[in-house]
Amino acid sequence: MERPLDLDAVQAFVLVADLQSFTRAAEALDSTQSAVSLKLKKLEQRLARRLMERTPRLVRLSADGQAFLPAARELLAAHERALGKLAQGAARFSVGISDHVAGSGFAKVLAQVNGYDPGVVIEARIASSRELMQQYERGELDAAIVRREPQDVGGELLMEERLGWFAAPQSNCWSGDVLRVATFSSSCRIRELSISRLDDAGIPWVEVFVGGGIQAVGAAVTAGLAMSALLYRTAPAGAIDVGAQLGLPLLPLAQVMLHSRLKQARTREALRTLAAALKAA
């Protein structure tokens, strides 16, 4: 009988394939890049096949890796089904994710987490960072992935994201000498920050649209109603950063923080996978 495959190595392979990064896979596994690389190397030796093509800037599956990936997913799923027969119900946790962080690629992020562990039930809430932190502090959320607010303490820095002034190509962002702006609701820190920067720079502006979330403000930008301060990751397709062109003030980087009170290993691992997938999105 042949020696069975190392499930940890197979799991590492699937994560690297999904996240297209050894670094992101290591973060999801709460491990190190060198440890993940070693697992992949041993798996390749066990299969006598090269599964990954590695370059300084790119990680992609080889032909053998593409052929092995569906079987690897099924192996992990079978393992989870076997464990599920013994487990007392599915693991579950609640997480709040800032509207600015979730972005349009959130469906892909959820698919990657589900592929990692289909037995984990995630209760996700999408709202403003300020609202989510209030819910987290009241104990209504197990975890929160939010932009850092000035009053926030604790948490783990996940990433820093660029902010820009986005508009649709060829749209007219001015009414005379007054800048036409689409903003978020008054509870949004990005709204406060962007308006403050315009005021400090002495640039007159008028609010022509107020949206309750990324989709609404993005639609206003796409329609050419106005320009808006947005994270690069959540700017609508086709929109461009017109900040330099219009002589607008620079915006600072937004720090995205992870706050968690999860104790169970399984849910902690699922949250790590979610955070790594968001970084890779």
Give the pLDDT of residue 258.
Answer: 94
Give the pLDDT of residue 17.
Answer: 86
Average pLDDT, the chain: 88
**Residue 90 pLDDT > 80:** no
Strands 240-241 and 228-231: what pairing? unpaired
Q: What average pLDDT does range 255-265 have in this prediction?
A: 90
Q: Do residues 100 and 147 lie in contact, with contact meaning Cβ atoms separated by under 8 Å?
A: yes
Amino acid at 266: R
User: pLDDT tens for residues 211-251?
Assistant: 988 899 999 999 999 999 999 999 999 999 999 999 999 99
Q: How confident is the model at residue 91 (pLDDT cuts 50, 70, 90)?
A: confident
How far is residue 33's CA from residue 16's CA, in Å, rounded to a whole number? 10
Q: What average pLDDT does range 110-114 have in this prediction?
A: 84
Q: What average pLDDT does range 55-73 have in this prediction?
A: 86
**Residue 88 pLDDT > 60:** no
User: pLDDT tens for residues 161-191?
Assistant: 999 999 999 888 988 889 999 999 877 888 9
**Residue 147 pLDDT > 70:** yes
**Residue 6 pLDDT > 60:** yes
Q: Which helix (H) or strand (E) holds 142?
A: none
**Residue 80 pLDDT > 80:** no
How far is residue 252's CA from residue 11's CA, in Å, rounded to a whole number? 37
Give the pLDDT of residue 194.
Answer: 94
How far is residue 115's CA from residue 18's CA, in Å, rounded to a whole number? 9
Which is more confident, 3 or 211? 211
**Residue 138 pLDDT > 90:** yes
- Kindly list the structural domains of the chain, giving each domain's residue range(s) and its CATH number in brackets, ordered by start: 1-86 (1.10.10.10), 90-160+253-281 (3.40.190.10), 163-251 (3.40.190.10)
